[in-house]
């Protein structure tokens, strides 16, 4: 792995770690989400400090270049993260729909009860 790629990985990883920590401090990122965004750059730092890991993994998988392995691994991990976020978004959408329906039913019941109490009083 070239020295330029190793330095770029380190710089981007450290900046990502700093930005994630800043967002956590400002309460703009939940701890559950931050675990991924702290572990991912930490793994990239490890790969840049110990390039032998990328060489070994690229040879085992049959990828010609360690750089290609790193790009493939990053793409794969980010696709998995996007998929897990899609699942989470779908679950939240279902919960929002159920809550909206429940609120609408409660409001309807309140209006019906107000109408009945108005008829009884008049």
Residue 109 banded pLDDT, cuts 50, 70, 90: very high
d(CA 15, CA 5): 15
Instruction: Give the pLDDT mean for 78-97.
Output: 95
Cβ neighbors of 114 (< 8 A, separation 6 or more) are none
pLDDT at residue number 120: 66
Alpha carbon distance, N-terminus to C-terminus of the chain: 86
Q: Break the chain into its structural domains and give their ranges.
A: 3-121
pTM exceeds 0.85 for this model: no
Residue 71: count of CB within 10 angstroms of its CB: 13
d(CA 17, CA 80): 20
d(CA 62, CA 54): 12
pLDDT in tens, 31-59: 888 888 888 888 888 888 888 998 999 99
């Amino acid at each position: 792995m070239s020295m330029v790629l190793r330095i770029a990985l380190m710089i981007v990883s450290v900046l990502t770690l700093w930005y994630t920590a800043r967002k956590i401090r400002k309460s703009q990122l939940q701890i559950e989400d931050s675990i991924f965004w702290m572990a991912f750059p930490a793994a990239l730092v490890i790969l840049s400090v110990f390039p032998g890991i990328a060489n070994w993994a690229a040879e085992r998988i049959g990828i010609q270049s360690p750089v290609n392995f790193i790009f493939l691994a990053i793409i794969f991990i980010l696709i998995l993260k996007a998929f897990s976020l899609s699942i989470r978004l779908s679950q939240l959408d279902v919960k929002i729909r159920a809550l909206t329906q429940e609120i609408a039913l409660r409001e309807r019941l309140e209006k019906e009860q107000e109408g009945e109490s108005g008829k009884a009083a008049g």
